Structures are given as C-alpha cells and as structure tokens.
Amino acid sequence: MDHFLYRDGALFAEDVPLSEIAAAVGTPFYVYSTATLLRHYTVLDEALAGTDHLVCYAMKAASNQAILKTLAQAGAGMDVVSGGEYLRAKAAGVPGERIVFSGIGKTADEIRMALTGGIRQFNVESEPEMEVLNRVAGEVGVTAPITIRVNPDVDAKTHAKIATGKSENKFGIPIARAREVYAMAAAMEHLEVIGIDVHIGSQLTDLAPFELAYQKVAELTGILRADGHNIRRLDLGGGLGIPYARSNEAPPLPVEYGAMVQRTVGHLGCEIEIEPGRLIAGNAGCMISEVIYVKSGEGRDFLILDGAMNDLIRPAMYEAHHDIVPVIEPEPGVEQVPYDIVGPVCESGDTFAKQRMMPPLTAGDLVAFRSAGAYGAVMSSEYNTRPLIPEVLVKGDQYAVIRRRPTFDEMINRDSIPEWL
Ligand code: LLP
C-alpha cells in the first residue's frame, strides 16, 4: 500500500500533485511519501508485537537524512554497512544503541568509529574481522557486543545478484562451522557474544526460504546455549519482497512474516531484530521523469525520457521491473500502445522497459516509476555528467526538497587539475 494515487485525473503524492513538484524542482526527481514510510515501518513493528524486538531499517535502501529522521522519530533503529552510513545515522539523530553494523569488509577505522560513537552490536562475518574487532575494542578500552552472521546454505529464490544465503556466497560463516567460530569469539577478551545473525537475500517473495533459515537459527541457538553461550538476540536480516508489478505479484504480508518469525524462533525468549530496507522504502518512493521525444523506430516506438540508468539502475542491473504510469491519468478505455522506454545514456542497457503497454504519450508528458524508493537514489551516479537528481519528501500537503540537484559548476569543480597541466 502506498500514498501515490490518482485524484481528479492526476497522480498525487499524498496531497500534493506530482506535476506541481515537477514544475517547481524540474525533472527527473525522486519523491517519497512520509505516510507510506511510516506505514510500512509501523506494519512491520506491529507484526512483531508481543516479542521484544527492534526494527533496524537497512538504510542502504534510501539514506537521505530526512528519511532516516522520519523513521528514527518513529522509533526505528538502523542497520548500517559502512562508516559513512554510521555517520549518516548519527547525524539523523539515531542513538548508537539503536545502530547495528553489518557487512563483510568493515575496516579497522570504521570499527573504531562505531566503538567510540556507540553501537548496539556488530554483525561479524569472518574470523579475521573478529580479530580486528577484538584488537580495536581493546585499544578503545571497550567490550564489543557481537552476533556472528551464519550462512545457512538456503536458496532464497531471488535474483542471483541479491541472494546471499547460499554457501557459495561471500556472506557469513558456514553454519556447520558455527560452534568452532563461536568458541573462538568467546575466548576473545574484548568481545561479548550476544546472539546470532542471518540474512539470506533481498526481494524474497516466498516465506519458505526464510522459514528454513530461521529453523536452522533456532536449532543453532539451542546448540550454542548448550555450549555455554548466552544467546539472547537474534538478528533475522531483511529481505521481505514488495510487489513491483502490481497487477500480478503478491508477496507475503508482513503479518504473515511476523507469524512465521513467532513460529520459528518465538519460543526461544530472544530479543528479535529485523533489517528491512526495501519493504520500508520501496513503495514509498517514485522517480518522476519527462518524455523528451517519442521516436519511431523499426517496428517499435521509443519513449525517450530525461531519466536514465544513472538515475535508476535497477532495470539495467537486475532486469528489474518497475511499473511506469503517466502522471496525468489516462481517459478510461483509451487504447494502450507498446513502447520501449529508454533513457538518453549512450548504451543500449539504458532501457527501462521493452514493449511496455502505455497510453499514447507525447513529448512533455510526465511519467512515474513506481516502487523506486529503495535502491533508487542511493545507487545513482553522475555517468554521462548527468547531475544526481533531487529528492523530495512529501508530508500531507507539504513538500520539501531534501537533496537538491547539484549545479554543473559544482560537479566540474570537484575535479582538480594537476599542476603540470
Ligand atoms: N541486511 C543486510 C545484511 C543486507 O545485506 C540487506 C540488503 C538488507 C538487510 C536489506 O534487504 P532488503 O530488506 O532491502 O531486501 N540493490 C539491490 C538490493 C541489494 C540488497 C543488499 N542487501 C536491488 O536494487 O534490488
């Protein structure tokens, strides 16, 4: 569910017409709905009600300060994967005790930053990382709370580039070696083992792989407790999918996910953490773009937009589907025509959709890419010297630019010319 709906023939974000924002900030741009962000956070939070839990938003999905602050004020924790994300979370007012640090390549500097600034826990992914963490914690003079991310060797049945829970993936330690690695951790002076972490992939549209992984975590909890470890927190990762093609996709509901969590690990008396990114931000954001040209090709027509793969890379990178809808609602019964919808970047990969049925459009029309709130703006680049596009946050009838478009001078002046030139 989201708050991008047609009203009187025009697409709105909450109570603001998207055409009004387009006129004010120019296209392309990202726009987020506060109500949708909060709704998704709340639905997840409520799905885990009855269990001691914390929803740690995986801020890699959309990390604008205004989005983080919106969620932090609602009580969310954050899952961060870099020193930069840690600093962003802190800058948005998230206290250290609500920040978990994930990722396979945390550097000593990043670890030091988090230990000094305060951290809820590190999700440790390897023995060498554990050794560095132990050393740095000793230097800082603190004890680092850790979970160890186990790789349960479960097929998440999602796109290969975003599956993380099979043994061939680079993530976590093989679950079969968990006892050995937990024993190593327990012997380290500056670490405190508090729990287990698992994350098997992203955009999962079936509960079965989660269930399998969580059953393995439950079993491991018993084994590790018998070994003498005080396992009291389970971080169950993120990954619950969203409907990208609304006409034919219905991923599991958060409430079904919550019931499954309860069923698999609820009896263990552990505090539960989840790390959803896409489920919170995905359908809370759209990318709005303008048709520059309609070009007739050999047996096909191209809609050439001012937005491109550098602004929204998901279709080029993961063959991802985004619903694309006109900002002016088509008249009922209007005959749809097929378009290849493309951006202006000079490679054929800059294609958003092929032979997509749309109402007839002309230059100057606006379109909205739905479900672009997660992994949209954060993955954008300035390829082809195209400025990073603005981000706008709507709340009711108000909107604000939360990241402005850089000027060309700012972009060019970031380069420096060596003195020999
Ligand atoms: N926790 C960890 C350790 C993760 O690696 C991820 C995502 C999440 C949580 C959040 O997963 P989510 O709830 O958003 O599915 N750029 C790709 C998605 C990459 C996901 C990476 N890790 C895309 O656009 O589909």
| pLDDT score of 36 | 98
Residue 123 Cα to ligand 1 midpoint, Å, equals: 15
The answer to whether 377 and 389 are in contact (CB under 8 A) is yes
Q: Mutation test of ligand 1: which of 60, 126, 196 has the most ligand atoms closer than 8 Å to its C-beta? A: 60
Protein residues whose CB sits closer than 6 Å to any atom of ligand 1 = 58, 61, 79, 102, 162, 199, 202-203, 237-239, 275-279, 314, 318, 374-375
Which element (helix H / strand E) includes 30? strand 29-33
Residue 361's pLDDT is what? 98
What is the predicted pLDDT for the residue at 170?
86
What pLDDT, on the 0 to 100 scale, is given for residue 1?
80
For every residue of 329-386, DSSP letters joined together read PPPTTPPPEEEEEE-SSSSTT-EEEEEEEE----TT-EEEETT-SSSSGGG---GGGP
127-140 and 178-186 helices cross at what angle (nearest 10)? Answer: 20
Task: Compute, in angstroms, the gap from residue 226 CA to the centroid of ligand 1.
Answer: 32
Copy the structure tokens of residue 15. Answer: 């109570």
Long-range contacts, 126-129 (Cβ 8 Å, 24+): 126/173, 127/173, 127/181, 127/184, 129/104
Q: What is the pLDDT of residue 414?
A: 97
What is d(CA 97, CA 331) in angstroms, rounded to the nearest whole number?
52
Beta-strand relationship, 16-17 and 10-13: antiparallel
Nearest-angstrom CA–CA distance, 99 and 119:
6
Rounded Cα distance between 406 and 395, Å, is 24
The pLDDT of residue 248 is 85
Residue nearest to atom 16 of ligand 1 (CA): 375
Interatomic CA distance for residues 357 and 328, integer angstroms: 16
Per-residue confidence (pLDDT) for residue 350, from 0 to 100: 98
DSSP string, 273-311: EE--SHHHHGGGEEEEEEEEEEEE-SS-EEEEES--TTT
Indicate which atom in ligand 1 lies nearest the CA of residue 277: 14
Ramachandran quadrant class, 50 (left: phi over 0; alpha: psi -120 to 50; beta: rest): left
- Integer CA distances (angstroms), 408 to 39, 236, 386, in order: 37, 43, 9
- pLDDT tens-digit series, residues 21-68: 999 999 999 999 999 999 999 999 999 998 999 999 999 999 999 999
**Nearest ligand 1 atom to alpha carbon 197:** 3
Ligand 1, closest atom to CA 204? 15
What atom in ligand 1 is closest to the CA of residue 314? Answer: 24
Among 202, 203, 317, 381, say which to mutate for ligand 1: greatest number of ligand atoms within 8 Å of CB: 202
SS3 19: helix
Complete domains list, the chain, with CATH: 4-31+283-412 (2.40.37.10), 34-281 (3.20.20.10)
Q: Ligand 1: distance of its center to the CA of 317 in Å?
A: 14
Q: How far is the CA of 60 from the centre of ligand 1 (A)?
A: 7
Given 56, 270, 286, 346, which residue is catalytic? 346
| Nearest-angstrom CA–CA distance, 231 and 195 | 5
CA of 407 to the centre of ligand 1 (A): 31
Peptide bond before residue 28 is cis, with ω within 30 degrees of 0:
yes
Which pLDDT does position 148 carry in this prediction? Answer: 98
Say which residues have a Cβ less than 8 Å from residue 346's Cβ, sequence separation at least 6: 384
Report whether 86 contacts 114 (CB < 8 A). yes
pTM for the predicted model, two decimal places? 0.97
* pLDDT computed for residue 162 by the predictor: 82
Neighbouring CB atoms inside 10 A of 383's CB total 15
Low-confidence residues of the chain: pLDDT under 70 = none
For ligand 1, the distance from its centroid to the CA atom of residue 80, given in whole angstroms, is 11
In the residue annotation, 346 being an active-site residue is answered as yes
Let me know if 189 is exposed, middle or buried by CB neighbors in 10 A (0-12, 13-18, 19+): exposed
